[in-house]
Structure 1
Amino acid sequence: MAHEVRGVVAKGKGEPVSVETVLVPDPGPGEALVKVQACGVCHTDLHYREGGINDEFPFLLGHEAAGVVESVGDGVTEVEPGDFVILNWRAVCGQCRACRRGRPWYCFDTHNAKQKMTLADGTELSPALGIGAFVEKTLVAAGQCTKVDPEASPAAAGLLGCGVMAGLGAAINTGGVTRGDSVAVIGCGGVGSAAVAGARLAGAAKIIAVDIDDRKLNWATGLGATHTINSSGTDPVAAIRELTGGFGADVVIDAVGRPETYEQAFFARDLAGTVVLVGVPTPEMKLELPFLEVFGRGGALKSSWYGDCLPSRDFPMLIDLYRQGRLDLDAFVSETIALNDVEAAFTKMHHGDVLRSVVVFE
């Protein structure tokens, strides 16, 4: 039996989104039906609407979500009805070469629900990142559900499903930030500010936030930055070096994903330091660096996929830290909105007015 619910759909490239009737099937083998309680408005959803991911319209948008499992299909053992879960878009397979080598956070064969959600006329929907959570109920692979403490706020918890986890993980998992390190984060929107929070959580001694917007620098300060640099009028490489005794930072995180910010990150790190790219470039971008500098500076140049997280390991741990008051996930929730406010939230996000707008379902 199909469940008739409301969801936010992008029907064509660049067109405003609309709230449509969505038909969601009962879960089949290995699937779970989740009643969504909250879902963050992420830049990736805007990329889908703009055709920047692929052209498989219409899209059912939304993916940073938390909710309650309503029912499960045959063979599901990970979760059961009534569990409070965060949805993730990298449900590990357990069988690929990365999983077999004990590195499931790199899983090369993640999976999604097999059945399709549709519009009322039967048109199949492409769920954003295999989730599609701007909807009252969604169908996912059971492995995309991670059970966490049900006392957590759904609006805050759901943000671990993408952007906040990407930033936290870029610092902790990919960058390996540890006690006493100096860290610089270039770009302090949602992901960059989360990287700042991750560096603080890991015990970094000096956390330098870099952006061209003083509002974002203020957000980063609230989440743990010890120093800020407005790079609209200051050379960030020179400023980071000045703040680190002339050496550069141990870890520099590029949360923008442009050639010019990556070059800044590359030259702002100390010898044997680490650069982490977590901002997402576009296909036409090219990077040129002096090859001798790549060799001579040593260290590591890394890309961070979803914060190199393992949801089953990281989500419960981070929710526990949130419940203990050691990780302020609530600070990322700039506003809570209704389902029909998503288009307006895209505009606010584009203008840098919010860290996250979060759709909250009654």
Structure 2
Amino acid sequence: MRAVVARGKNQPVTVETIVVPDPGPGEAVVKIQACGVCHTDYHYRQGGISDDFPFLLGHEAAGVVEAVGEGVDEVAPGDFVILNWRAVCGQCRACRRGRPWYCFNTHNARRKMTLEDGTELTAALGIGAFADKTLVAAGQCTRVDPSASAAVAGLLGCGVMAGLGAALNTGNVQRGDSVAVIGCGGVGGAAVMGARLAGAARIIAVDIDDRKLEIARRLGATHTVNSRENDPVEAVRELTGGHGADVVVDAVGVPETYRQAFYARDLAGTVVLVGVPTPEMKLELPLLDVFGRGGALKSSWYGDCLPSRDFPMLVDLYLQGRLDLEAFVTETIALDGVEEAFARMNAGDVLRSVVTF
């Protein structure tokens, strides 16, 4: 099979031939139809996730199940599925308490895909979907309506779900709430869309790029703030009667934007961190402010989603015309265009490039 491989830190990716084994017990082989280009894949390429090179990149994907291993009954060959990187175990303390979206023992396929010479590949987020086919745990496959576009459905596998879930699940945005979203790339844009879907009355998009702010307006923002030109905390307060927003989503994940989110929320408001920080980052806040402002400081991992519950629902909303997932697909590209897509992503030129097969 053809696949995009990162062989070493900071090295350009290459399209290579890989070997995909037959599925073992509890596993499935999926023929990929589309896979989005996500910042996480670039972080793997840069060695920012781990040093377990070579990596098989790609994880934001949809396709058709081709074969399943022994004991698999949740999906069958021919099923159209979205892949996810949190296959819940059903047995850990979170799952047994009825909170499987917090599962502490998520799992991946046990068998390894390899290069032609037998070198084992590390699949990005346990998926590795910049490939004609990939091997995953069957629990990583969520069956959805096959009439959905694969290029659109696959985006729910990571970034778009993370943003939607940050607003809907973690932030628990309610009808009439005020919401601010700091950072309006793919994840932040999805948080804007999630706030709109929840019925927020005021949605304030904050970014340093006017192009992204214009996209955020199309996704549902009622107001925009360019934080290069204006203090975002003061701007959010001014737009919310001097109080601050009920929910503030930090989709950037650096200390500066987290502090902005912290002080841009109303008393007893909620901060949701969905942007991913790097290991060396430190945050300092006056403990009295943490105590005195009340509310909740939350982190949103994968939008606190449960794929078996959320993916089919969101695909249905898309098919009903109530969720414009098409807006996130800036371009479709071939498998050999991933390296160039990374450059466009880092320049802020796209919400999502999507590899189609």
Q: TM over 0.5: same fold? A: yes
Q: Distance between the aligned counterparts of 2:174 and 2:58, measured in 1?
A: 33
Aligned match of 2:131: 135
Give the percent of matched residue pairs that are identical in Structure 1 and Structure 2.
82
Matched, 1:79 2:70: no
Q: Any unmatched runs of 5+ in structure 1?
A: none
Secondary structure, aligned partner of 2:211: helix
Cα shift at 1:205: 0.4
For each residue in 1:182-211, what CA deviation from the matched residue of structure 2 results, as whole angstroms up to 9, or x when unmatched?
000000000000000000000000000000
Aligned match of 1:9: 5
Q: Distance between the aligned counterparts of 2:56 and 2:143, measured in 1?
A: 23
Q: Distance between the aligned counterparts of 1:132 and 1:74, measured in 2?
A: 22
Secondary structure, aligned partner of 1:158: helix
Matched, 1:126 2:122: yes
For each residue in 1:16-52, what CA deviation from the matched residue of structure 2 results, as whole angstroms up to 9, or x when unmatched?
0000001000111000000000000000000000000
Give the letter for the 2:187 counterpart: V
Q: Distance between the aligned counterparts of 1:235 and 1:97, measured in 2?
A: 43
Q: Distance between the aligned counterparts of 1:316 and 1:218, measured in 2?
A: 29
* Structure 2 counterpart of 1:334, from 330, 336, 344: 330
Q: Any unmatched runs of 5+ in structure 2?
A: none
Aligned match of 1:190: 186
Matched, 1:150 2:158: no
Give the letter for the 2:75 counterpart: V
For each residue in 1:150-173, what CA deviation from the matched residue of structure 2 results, as whole angstroms up to 9, or x when unmatched?
000000000000000000000000
Q: Distance between the aligned counterparts of 1:80 and 1:331, measured in 2?
A: 31
- RMSD (CA atoms): 0.3
For each residue in 1:190-236, what CA deviation from the matched residue of structure 2 results, as whole angstroms up to 9, or x when unmatched?
00000000000000000000000001001111100000000001000
For each residue in 1:257-302, what CA deviation from the matched residue of structure 2 results, as whole angstroms up to 9, or x when unmatched?
0000000000000000000000000101000001111011000000
Secondary structure, aligned partner of 1:265: helix
Paired residues, what number?
357
Matched, 1:304 2:336: no
Secondary structure, aligned partner of 1:68: strand
Give the letter for the 1:194 counterpart: A
Q: Distance between the aligned counterparts of 2:201 and 2:64, measured in 1?
A: 39
Matched, 1:165 2:177: no
Secondary structure, aligned partner of 2:4: strand
Q: Structure 1 runs of 4+ off > 6 angstroms? A: none
Aligned match of 2:90: 94
Q: Distance between the aligned counterparts of 2:108 and 2:297, measured in 1?
A: 30
Q: Distance between the aligned counterparts of 1:28 and 1:291, measured in 2?
A: 51
Q: Distance between the aligned counterparts of 2:25 and 2:256, measured in 1?
A: 47
Cα shift at 1:178: 1.0
Q: Distance between the aligned counterparts of 1:130 and 1:319, measured in 2?
A: 23
Matched, 1:274 2:270: yes
Give the letter for the 2:158 counterpart: C
Q: How does 1:210-229 map to 2 (within 5 A)?
A: 210-229=206-225
Q: Distance between the aligned counterparts of 1:97 and 1:51, measured in 2?
A: 32
* Structure 2 counterpart of 1:355, from 338, 351, 354: 351
Secondary structure, aligned partner of 1:274: strand
Q: Distance between the aligned counterparts of 2:31 and 2:214, measured in 1?
A: 35
Give the letter for the 1:155 counterpart: A
Aligned match of 2:28: 32
Secondary structure, aligned partner of 1:52: coil
Q: Distance between the aligned counterparts of 2:233 and 2:86, measured in 1?
A: 35
Cα shift at 1:360: 0.2
Secondary structure, aligned partner of 1:263: helix
Give the letter for the 1:42 counterpart: C
Q: Distance between the aligned counterparts of 2:43 and 2:14, measured in 1?
A: 16
* Structure 2 counterpart of 1:179, from 175, 188, 191: 175
Secondary structure, aligned partner of 1:343: helix
Give the letter for the 2:336 counterpart: N
Secondary structure, aligned partner of 1:70: strand
Aligned match of 2:229: 233
Give the letter for the 1:6 counterpart: R
Give the letter for the 1:102 counterpart: G
Q: Distance between the aligned counterparts of 1:21 and 1:210, measured in 2?
A: 43
Q: Distance between the aligned counterparts of 2:282 and 2:30, measured in 1?
A: 41
Q: TM-score, normalised by structure 2?
A: 1.00
